[in-house]
Amino acid sequence: MTLKNANGDVASKDKTLSGPSGRKPRRVISGRNIMLYGTLFVAAIYYLLPLYVMIVTSLKGMPEIRLGNIFSPPLEITFEPWVKAWATACTGLNCDGLSRGFWNSVRITVPSTILSIAIASVNGYALANWRFKGADFFFSILIVGAFIPYQVMIYPIVIVLREIGIYGTLSGLILVHSIFGMPILTLLFRNYFASLPAELFKAARIDGAGFWQIFLRIMLPMSLPIFVVAMILQITGIWNDFLFGVVFTRPEYYPMTVQLNNIVNSVQGVKEYNVNMAATILTGLVPLIVYFVSGRLFVRGIAAGAVKG
Amino acid sequence: MTGHAKAGRPNQFLRNLNSKIASIPMILTAVVIFLGGTIWTVVYSFTNSKLLPRLSFVGLDQYYRLWAAPRWVMSIENLAVYGILSMIFSLVIGFMLAALMDQKIRFENTFRTIFLYPFALSFIVTGLVWQWLLNPEFGIQSVVRSLGWTTFAFDPLYTPSIVIYGVLIAALWQGTGLVMCLMLAGLRGIDEDIWKAARVDGIPMWKTYLFVIIPMMRPVFITTLVIIASGIVKVYDLVVAQTSGGPGIASEVPAKYVYDYMFQAQNLGQGFAASTMMLLTVAIVVIPWAYLEFGGGRKRG
């Protein structure tokens, strides 16, 4: 939705004006290059510094943290903070660390991702290939809805979930994630299915294939890339969610982000910065792994899903 | 905003039951949750609901109370400062990084990976990391002091007048990578010939950027701006993690006001009124954009 705007109409202008082409030979070390790489390098340090400080802090013992500065590497590497963050750090009444939150997040993210993609892909397919009267109207509402701040819809959803009887449970939260993932995912799938050659669809129809048959046997096998993009978008988005987790679940079902915030910002006790930073890294690990593994596809996903914020 | 119908296409009235059945979740979400939920909240913002929503209308009372509340006014001021600055800085930094990355540099992938990874992280994680870096006892302030500048002061998270800038630093760290990616895509979409023509005419590079390239990238800028803006209005997690709205009420934001009044102070009417104001803010940003993007008869993105 966003990136396509960039490809302006200029690309088709005639190329007769370009005379002798080919790049000018360039010196490797020039004032320009020093400026260029220097700036990029400084910027890179700014972006990397927090990650470095997180890792370094999480490997120090508390005495070392109190004495040394946050940038100095650990004199004595200890993994105790990691163990504590995972297994014994306290949130509220429980002292079983982030492990519970981690498994909650897994139990939230996996079904939410599957459910939301299943629903949205079928929706997108219906919108792209089986247009019916009024579909565009509902789709417009859905897309406009993606811009409405969540806060506006939270309370009515609480009431709806309470009426169904799943308020405070994992299923409730899974449903909420599927609902809020719908606009952007539906848009993603609609545009993708619309870009597939229409002849395939027509030929299949002539051969007598129906709605589901075409979807399962022609559309699905052709859309693996977009499914991967949607998965990246949903996994990172749902894993990183905080607001829905805190509103729609009870403490025993809190996702990792909520638990992390409770561990770090709890008022009682001595602040164990090393444990806090280990916990922070642990929470960021899943989306970071998704990011590093998926590379360019991640960029596509977030560019498409940035509206979801 | 119903400009989605493809103009000029004959209405091939496909009465397909399967398609309609498949669209039920979408229709329910659109109508019940998005439309219904929004209308519900707006309607109840005119009531004096406290612990439970009640339909006893009090006109604009909740709104008068809202705007008389120092905490709300503070939230709005914060949002304005944070919003304007983060829009400016995101665009400027994002564009400059993209322009640098567009110079056919080596290690482009490495740099892009580095600039973008914060975006993969949760706002909670971002907030906590920067809480640690800006901690006056251990963080940047103490490090600089230990280097010899003993009077160096940089503790935004503990100084009410500048706490919002502390939040801004973290937000920029997280968000500029995305802006850079969008801008880079925009720059890559610009024809090489434009650059050649500018070089032939002897126009300096910065002038070409300023007067040729940036105007050509208008759609990208507008889209990016809408993305940033709709994120700004929602800002919540970051503040909760980094400052919890403190010190005092110095870093409160509207989204937090809504949450606190709905789920902690159990003053639903205030929560609804505040969230309606958020809705209004977004509408002011999005409606002109949607009109430009979809209404003016131009092709959709």
Q: Which residue has the tokens 């109508």?
A: B31
* Phi, psi at B9, each rounded to 5°: -95, 135
Question: Would you say A227 and A117 are in contact if contact means Cβ atoms under 8 Å apart?
Answer: yes
Helix/strand/coil (H/E/C) assignment for every residue in chain B: CCCCCCCCCCCCCCCCHHHHHHCHHHHHHHHHHHHHHHHHHHHHCCECCCCCCCCCECCCHHHHHHHHCHHHHHHHHHHHHHHHHHHHHHHHHHHHHHHHHCCCCCCHHHHHHHHHHHHHCCHHHHHHHHHHHCCCCCCHHHHHHHCCCCCCCCCHHHCCCCHHHHHHHHHHHHHHHHHHHHHHHHHHCCCHHHHHHHHHCCCCHHHHHHHHHHHHCHHHHHHHHHHHHHHHHHCCHHHHHHCCCCCCCCCCCHHHHHHHHHHCCCCHHHHHHHHHHHHHHHHHHHHHHHHHHHHCCCCCC
Higher pLDDT, A224 or B7: A224
Q: Which residues of B touch A71 (CB under 8 A)?
A: 143
CB contact under 8 Å between A257 and B263, yes or no, is no
Task: Name residue A13's amino acid.
Answer: K
Mean pLDDT to the nearest integer, B200-224:
88
Given this model, what pLDDT does residue B1 score? 40
Highest mean pLDDT among A18-27, A30-39, A206-215, B269-278: B269-278
DSSP one-letter code for A215: I
Mean pLDDT to the nearest integer, B155-160:
84
Q: Which residues make Cβ contacts (< 8 Å) with residue A258, sequence separation at least 6? A: A101, A242, A245, A246, A249, B124
| pLDDT-based confidence at residue A16 (cuts at 50, 70, 90) | very low
Question: Would you say A149 and B231 are in contact if contact means Cβ atoms under 8 Å apart?
Answer: no
* Phi, psi at A91, each rounded to 5°: -125, 115
| pLDDT-based confidence at residue B296 (cuts at 50, 70, 90) | low
Q: Which residues of A touch B231 (CB under 8 A)?
A: 306, 309
User: How far, in Å, CA of B77 to CA of B249, rounded?
Assistant: 12
Given this model, what pLDDT does residue A161 score? 94
- Nearest Cα neighbor of A182 from A249, A112, A248, A252 is A112
CB contact under 8 Å between A8 and B189, yes or no, is yes
Higher pLDDT, A202 or B246: A202
- Exposure string of A236-250, with b = 16+ CB inside 10 Å and e = fewer, is bbbbbbbbbbbbbbe
Given this model, what pLDDT does residue A119 score? 94
CB contact under 8 Å between B41 and A152, yes or no, is yes
Mean pLDDT to the nearest integer, A182-207:
88
Q: Is the pLDDT of residue A133 over 60?
A: yes
CA A280 distance to own-chain centroid: 17
Give strand pairing partners of A91. Answer: A94
Given this model, what pLDDT does residue A309 score? 39
Q: Pick the residue from chain B with its C-alpha nearest to A46.
A: B173
Mean pLDDT to the nearest integer, B112-122:
92
Interface probe with A: pick from B4, B18, B23, most Cβ of A within 10 Å? B23
Q: Which of residues 209-268 of B touch A (CB under 8 A)?
A: 216-217, 219-220, 223-224, 226-227, 230-231, 233-234, 236-237, 240-241, 244, 254-255, 258-259, 262-263, 268
Q: Pick the residue from chain B with its C-alpha nearest to A234.
A: B120
Given this model, what pLDDT does residue B280 score? 92
Q: Is the pLDDT of residue A25 over 80?
A: no
What tokens appear for A79 in the block?
């993994």
Given this model, what pLDDT does residue A9 score? 37
CB contact under 8 Å between B4 and A139, yes or no, is yes
Q: How many CB atoms lie within 10 A of CB B217?
A: 24
H/E element holding A113? helix A99-129
* B291 and chain A in contact, CB less than 8 A: no
Q: How many CB atoms lie within 10 A of CB A41?
A: 11
Between helix A99-129 and helix A273-294 the angle, nearest 10°, is 30
H/E element holding A56? helix A31-58
Give A229→chain B minimum CA distance, Å: 14
Q: Is the pLDDT of residue B244 over 60?
A: yes
Interface probe with B: pick from A5, A35, A176, A235, most Cβ of B within 10 Å? A5
User: How far, in Å, CA of A268 to CA of A256, rounded?
Assistant: 20
CB contact under 8 Å between A156 and B125, yes or no, is no
User: How far, in Å, CA of A259 to CA of B42, rounded?
Assistant: 32
A144, A247, A291 member nearest B1 (Cβ): A144
Q: Which residue has the tokens 């290939």?
A: A129
CB contact under 8 Å between B31 and A71, yes or no, is no
> Of A103-117, B76-90, B236-250, where does mean pLDDT reach its minimum?
B236-250
Number of A/B CB contacts below 8 angstroms equals 315
Task: Name residue B119's amino acid.
Answer: F
Interface probe with A: pick from B13, B16, B34, most Cβ of A within 10 Å? B34
- To the nearest whole number, what is the mean pLDDT of chain B? 86
Q: Which of residues 106-165 of B touch A (CB under 8 A)?
A: 111, 113-125, 128-133, 138-140, 142-143, 146
Q: Is the pLDDT of residue B257 over 90?
A: yes
Mean pLDDT to the nearest integer, B237-248:
89
**Confidence (pTM):** 0.86
Mean pLDDT to the nearest integer, A261-287:
88
* Phi, psi at A242, each rounded to 5°: -125, -50
User: How far, in Å, CA of A60 to CA of A81, rounded?
Assistant: 8
Given this model, what pLDDT does residue A26 score? 57
Give B160→chain A minimum CA distance, Å: 19
> Considering chain A, what percentage of its residues have pLDDT values greater than 70?
88
Given this model, what pLDDT does residue A32 score? 81
Q: Is the pLDDT of residue A20 over 60?
A: no
Give B170→chain A minimum CA distance, Å: 10
CB contact under 8 Å between A236 and B301, yes or no, is no
Given this model, what pLDDT does residue B288 score? 83
Mean pLDDT to the nearest integer, A185-205:
88
Q: Is the pLDDT of residue A308 over 50?
A: no
Highest mean pLDDT among A9-13, A207-211, B275-279: B275-279
Give A137→chain B minimum CA distance, Å: 6
* B36 and chain A in contact, CB less than 8 A: yes
Given this model, what pLDDT does residue B4 score? 47
What tokens appear for A56 in the block?
């370094």
Q: Is the pLDDT of residue B11 over 70?
A: no
> Considering chain A, what percentage of its residues have pLDDT values greater than 90?
42
